[in-house]
Amino acid sequence: MYHVKQADIVIIGSGAAGTMSAIYAHRADPGLKVVVLDKSKMETSGGAGRGMDALNTVALPPYSQPEDVVELMTKVTEGILDQQVAYRFGEICPRMVADLEQIMEREKGDLFPVDENGNYRLMYLHPIDKPLLLPMDGEEMKRALAHAVRQTGAEVMDRTPAIKIVTSGGKVCGVLAVNIRTGHYYYIKTKAVCLTTGAAGRMGLASSGYLAGTYEFPGCSGDGYAMAYEAGAELVNMECFQANTLLKDHQGPSCGYVAAPRGAYTVNPWDERTWSHGYSSGDSKMGAWKRFTQGRGPIYLKMDHLDEQMIQIIEKIQWGNERTSRGLFHQSREQNYRNAHAVELAFAEEVGVCGGHSSSGVLSDTTGVSNVPGLYVAGDVDGGLPHSYLGGALAMGGLIGEEAAHYASGIPEPEQRTGLKAWLRKEAAEFEAPLGREGGLPTSLVEFKARARVQYYLKPPKNPVFLEKAAWWMERIRQEDLPRIQAVSLHDLFKVQEIKSILTVGEMMARSSLFREESRWGYQHWRVDMPAKKPEWEGVWVVIKKGEGGEMTLAKRQSPAHQWEYPTSMEYAYPDLEFDTGPMFQKGPEWKNPKDDPWMKAHLDAQGMATPRRFMAKEEN
């Protein structure tokens, strides 16, 4: 069944950024019609659905200033950013914090800690000498944001993911979505889209081999990245990977951001530290990689030296807020934070790309708008504001809601699409094609194949031959497997859609890694054939866009000139990967085989290259 709706703004994804977009769009113009789409149910969807324990990067005077955010982002991106976007985020942090307290109906000092003067008390975590982490008692944050969205009167369509952003004349004009439960199609005419779908964080395959029960939600397959790309948006830094350090076997986060500001750190069995800070950036990943490559793993989160009070605080946050299953996991294995080497970590699981935790995503400016008029981005899909985490999603989510409202208020309705019914039937037939196949490939098989290739060929350190092979595999699966894939349910149909996203984003990761002919960002873009940064790539984005012929195009673009002079590199060095494995076996003078093989040649002449006899039907006597 087809439904046609009219909206001024469609918000795709109702996580932290999406809910703030809806709230701020309503504040900017209460008369606008806002539709919110989500794969799941808004109250519990997104990374914030489990509850949050901190705003990892935020500027709050007097302890930190917007310039401090600029300093951090300039350093961890190694100078490849628009500093004005970072500064804009820093400027609106106080507003975002005050709004959260108001939305969650929490008194100052209850949701966030304050000092004796009433100033928010920030903690150190990042690789600069400024406190930028604000602890938070945010278990109910997502439900409060969802409640506030419903109070605005926005139409919330749970379990109705978007599958296409539609443009006309290069501008946003509509969104096509499908309800997971009913299979009904919705075409929503709109003036603006706020894209807040989150990261392409679940691209590779976890070491467990599982497709579900993993750190990143399996649906984080880069659908927002792929939709933006198909709509003509420019994406940047797709070669700057996110490589997660996780709690081994639990497939949950290492929670270094909870424990590190409170005195924990990462060590190997000989209590050698992997790095000097707990921030998840390319330098710290190099340190972890070093320990494993030296054969001096595994690595552990060291907490046994902390006071009992601090250990209990860490347990309270980690077990009771973000990952409630974590306490049961430890207890079933008799793992006690008070013991040495109790918490083992896994390294570089499930490679992917992310704007909020790295630098990869849709390029945006200080208003959050992309190069496609009417398309705004915020949160982990946003590549214009790197390394901003939850604070960036909330602050810039609100900003793009305002900006989209101003844009939508000032332009006429998009023209009615001609031949809408025929177009909808065509789109639906294409989407549902896997349902009609008999004896096709199971979706789980193709998904496993795609994710395994991403993990095997793209995991750093990168090799250009592997990168070429990854791009080749993405195209091969697209051409050979997708036309034969079989869906047996609506759930399966959406898995096909996710596989398509994996192939598109995986190809972007491979091609941009090949295009940037240097290494940068520590572990995140480390090419063994070019193990150093190069001057000609300083401040340069790799911009990916869909070409007019449908091909993937890449180009270099200089990021805006810096207004603030801060360090543009982190503390690390690419190692020389020469290993002394000793002398190889030396062949003696008699160690020699003939240059020809007449015995096997005779069999070849007699049997030819036909199908082996064991596969042929036996003739009846």
Supply the pTM of this predicted model.
0.95
- How many angstroms separate the CA atoms of 120 and 256, rounded? 22
Model confidence band, residue 241 (pLDDT cutoffs 50, 70, 90): very high
Flag whether pLDDT at 256 surpasses 90: no
Length of the chain: 621
User: What percentage of residues in the chain have a pLDDT greater than 90?
Assistant: 83
The amino acid that residue 21 corresponds to is S
- pLDDT above 80: residue 8: yes
Percent of the chain with pLDDT over 70: 100
β-bridge mates for residue 546, sequence order: 552
* Residue with the larger pLDDT of the pair 568 and 614: 568
Alpha-carbon span 568 to 617, nearest angstrom = 69
Degrees to nearest 5, angle at CA 554 with 553 and 556: 150
Q: Return the beta strands (E) in 155-267 as ranges.
A: 155-157, 162-168, 171-178, 185-189, 192-195, 235-236, 242-247, 252-253, 265-267
**Could you report the per-residue pLDDT of 30-56, keeping only the tens digit for each?**
999 999 999 999 999 888 887 889 999
Bridge partners of 300? 267, 344
**DSSP class of residue 179?**
-
Instruction: Tell me which of 350 and 312 has the higher pLDDT.
Output: 312
- The residue type of 561 is A
pLDDT digits (tens, 9 = 90+) for 158-213: 999 999 999 999 999 999 999 999 999 999 999 999 999 999 988 888 877 888 77
Q: 566-593, pLDDT tens digit by residue?
A: 999 999 999 988 889 999 999 999 999 9
CA angle 614, 616, 617 (to 5 degrees): 115
- The reported pLDDT for the residue numbered 536 is 98
Residue 322 pLDDT greater than 80, yes or no: no
Give every CB contact of residue 484 below 8 A, 6+ residues apart in sequence. 437, 440, 441
Tens digit of each residue's pLDDT (9 = 90 or more) over 398-431 = 999 999 999 999 999 888 778 999 999 999 999 9
Q: Please report the pLDDT score of residue 9 as a whole number.
A: 98
Q: How far apart are CA 243 and CA 252, in angstroms?
A: 13
Asked if residue 360 has pLDDT above 80, the reply is yes
DSSP string spanning 3-59? EEEE-SEEEE--SHHHHHHHHHHHHH-TTS-EEEE-SS-TTT-SGGGG-EEEESS--
More confident residue, 89 or 219: 89
- Give the integer Cα–Cα distance in Å for 405 and 9: 7
Q: Within 13 Å of residue 146, how many CA atoms lie on the same side as its CB?
A: 22
Amino acid occupying residue 140: E
Contact between residue 149 and residue 42 where contact means Cβ atoms under 8 Å apart:
yes
Distance CA(543)–CA(234), nearest Å, equals 6
Burial class (CB within 10 angstroms; exposed 0-12, middle 13-18, buried 19+) of 501: buried
Q: What is the mean pLDDT of the chain?
A: 94
Angle between helices 490-515 and 223-230 (to 10 degrees): 70
| Per-residue pLDDT tens over the stretch 87-114 | 999 999 999 999 999 999 999 999 999 9
Q: Residue 198: what pLDDT?
A: 92
Would you say residue 621 has pLDDT above 70?
no
| Edge-to-edge strand ranges of the sheet holding 9-12 | 155-157, 34-37, 9-12, 192-195, 375-377
Report whether 529 contacts 577 (CB < 8 A).
Answer: no
Tell me the two tokens of residue 260: 């590190």
The per-residue pLDDT for range 529-576, each reduced to its tens digit, is: 999 999 999 999 999 999 999 999 999 999 999 999 999 999 999 998
DSSP 537: G
